[in-house]
Structure 1
Amino acid sequence: MKSLSSPPTTTPTRIEVIGMKHSIHVFLFGLVSWAAIPVAAQQTTQFADANLPDAPTATDGAASTGSSERETTWRTLPMDFLHDQKDIWTFPVQLAKGHHWVPTIVVVGGTAAFLAADPHVASYFRSHQRNVDKVNDVFDPMITTGEVIALPTSLLVAGYLRHEPREVSTALMAAEAYGDSAIVDLAIKAVTRRQRPSDIPPGHPFTNTFFNGGKSPFKGSSFPSGHSAAAFSVATVVANRYSRKRWVPILAYGLATAISTSRITENAHFTSDVFLGASIGYTTAKYAVLRPR
């Protein structure tokens, strides 16, 4: 007679993983959302009480950054986006004029350093995959994509419900940064067509991974990481707009870093993919979307 006191060993593990996945994601996303929204309420007290979202006129947020901030509305969003793209794709002209050399050297140098480390890091995580399986389950790519999208969406809904134009503007700017970084990401993917670590058969070296003609720029190409670009573009907007509360940048960048790092531990991306993706997300948000006009 079979014992009723010995359940299958796999059941607790599945329950544990599912519980961990939901609780951690709800906790992290809730912290970022609820930290940002109350701060937004404090920073919008000087806004004119006008129709949403076309009339944010106060500059209370400027006090937190020391310079005037721009605001975005549904009406201005298309032209703002085109303005961003012009700035992004004419960036070499700015370099030729001697501007932005320091951040460019940091990004290029950092990417080169991580490219050199890629084979070693990818090999390590492949051989230690079982050690990080539960962590990888928590940061499932579909879930993390949903979280990145849900953050500006929650700000947008809260802004309309609370009649606070600055929240609406922040949400639109986060979406604007997301779109800007996605276009840059896809353009580079289309050229590089890099294999992912998971594409390399066991026992083969993690070298000569670029310019694989069979890779789709919209799905399979690895360089750079789209998840990292998206996470850091949204995080940078939220962190800068609500920088008066120190925990908002910490939570925003912390969540973006966790999402980005998970792409390495899952063998979905190389370290250089993630570094460049994060750099694209940060720079497009910081120097294109958030720049006063």
Structure 2
Amino acid sequence: MPSQQGPVQTVREESVTEGVKAVIEDARALVTAPLRMTGEDWLKAGAGAAVVGGFVAADHSIQDWVDRNNKSATGKKVADGFNTFGNPVTMAGVNVGVIAIGLANQSYGGGSWIKEAGLVGLEAEGFAVVAAELLSNATGRARPEKHQGATNFRPFSGNTSFGSSHSAASFAVASVFADRFDPAIGWLSYGVATAVAASRVYTDKHFTSDVIVGGLIGWGMGKFISRQHAGDPDDWQIRPLSLEQGVGTGLMIGKRF
């Protein structure tokens, strides 16, 4: 009898390499960004550094006040909730959810802007978390919960307080959403990011300056990556993998060049 086996389906390679190229291109632009900074840009960076430095000096007093006023069981439950939501893994899930909503919207004839927001948010969050982790490991600041003081900096000691990844992830996503959605969603996103940052201080996971520097990193990354992909609404693409026969069996992520 003739074989009943169906035709072999071959995936056409389009593929993940385009997405990798896009991320490398953005990373290169990010690393070389200081070479393109104007005098005004450097003034803004200096002002941000001065704000962080001021809060470093005030961290001990602020944390003493927090420790005297964070005894509420309800407050701790609320803070724990925002701690969980602001976890970089959870924030990545938020971006993936937005991408899924965007794909559904596109499948019904809508535009690609929702999907684009999720993709850009995911990339910005990734860069922000990496930057915050590098900074926190390099500075080696002990967390408040260790009770070693606000000035205990021992580079590469395993202490990772200075540069909150939760804050960086939350503000990266918030700044992208603020750029790409209605103002109400932008304000809501920044409000949630601020609550995440406050929860890290409330639960003794970070000093105030830690969440501020993390927030600045996240905000800056979000704005930068969002600007990188502002030119073409179809710059980033995500769609079913093309097959020679049959239907899609996966997703292709890529970028137009």
DSSP 3-state at the match of 1:290: helix
Deviation at 1:125, TM superposition (A): 1.3
Counting matched residue pairs gives: 210
Aligned to 2:169: 230
Instruction: Could you list the structure 1 runs, at least 4 aligned residues long, displaced by more than 6 angstroms after superposition.
Output: none
Instruction: Give, as a single letter, the amino acid of the residue that structure 2 aligns with 1:126.
Output: D
Aligned to 1:255: 192
Counterpart Cα distance in 2 of 1:264 and 1:212: 22
* Aligned match for 2:65, one of 124, 146, 170: 124
Instruction: Give, as a single letter, the amino acid of the residue that structure 1 aligns with 2:203.
Output: E
Counterpart Cα distance in 2 of 1:167 and 1:275: 28
| Deviation by residue 1:173-219 (Cα, 9 ceiling, x = unmatched) | 00000111011111112210110000116xxxx2431116542xxxx
**Correspondence 1:149 to 2:92:** yes
Counterpart Cα distance in 2 of 1:102 and 1:136: 38
Aligned to 1:44: none
Counterpart Cα distance in 2 of 1:144 and 1:92: 29
Seen in structure 2, the aligned counterparts of structure 1 residues 279 and 161 have a Cα distance that, compared at 3 Å, is: same
Instruction: Give, as a single letter, the amino acid of the residue that structure 2 aligns with 1:235.
Output: A
Q: How does 1:169-188 map to 2 (within 5 A)?
A: 169-188=116-135
The answer to whether the 8 Å contact 2:85/2:196 transfers is no
Instruction: Give, as a single letter, the amino acid of the residue that structure 2 aligns with 1:264.
Output: V
Counterpart Cα distance in 2 of 1:168 and 1:246: 18
- TM-score, normalisation: structure 1: 0.65
- TM-score, normalisation: structure 2: 0.74
Deviation at 1:99, TM superposition (A): 5.8
Identity %: 25
Q: Which moved more, 1:79-88 or 1:279-288?
A: 79-88
Counterpart Cα distance in 2 of 1:81 and 1:120: 41
Aligned to 1:31: none
- Structure 2, unmatched stretches of 5+, are 1-13, 232-257
Seen in structure 2, the aligned counterparts of structure 1 residues 135 and 77 have a Cα distance that, compared at 3 Å, is: farther
Instruction: Give, as a single letter, the amino acid of the residue that structure 2 aligns with 1:237.
Output: V
Aligned to 2:30: 88
| Deviation by residue 1:214-257 (Cα, 9 ceiling, x = unmatched) | 42xxxx40110100000000011111101xx3211111111111
Deviation at 1:106, TM superposition (A): 2.1
Deviation at 1:76, TM superposition (A): 4.7
* Aligned match for 1:111, one of 26, 39, 52: 52
Counterpart Cα distance in 2 of 1:187 and 1:147: 20
Aligned to 1:102: 43
Aligned to 1:199: 146
**Correspondence 1:138 to 2:85:** no
DSSP 3-state at the match of 1:167: helix
Instruction: Give, as a single letter, the amino acid of the residue that structure 1 aligns with 2:161.
Output: S
Instruction: Give, as a single letter, the amino acid of the residue that structure 2 aligns with 1:122.
Output: Q
Seen in structure 2, the aligned counterparts of structure 1 residues 175 and 213 have a Cα distance that, compared at 3 Å, is: closer
The answer to whether the 8 Å contact 1:197/1:270 transfers is yes
**Correspondence 1:189 to 2:136:** yes
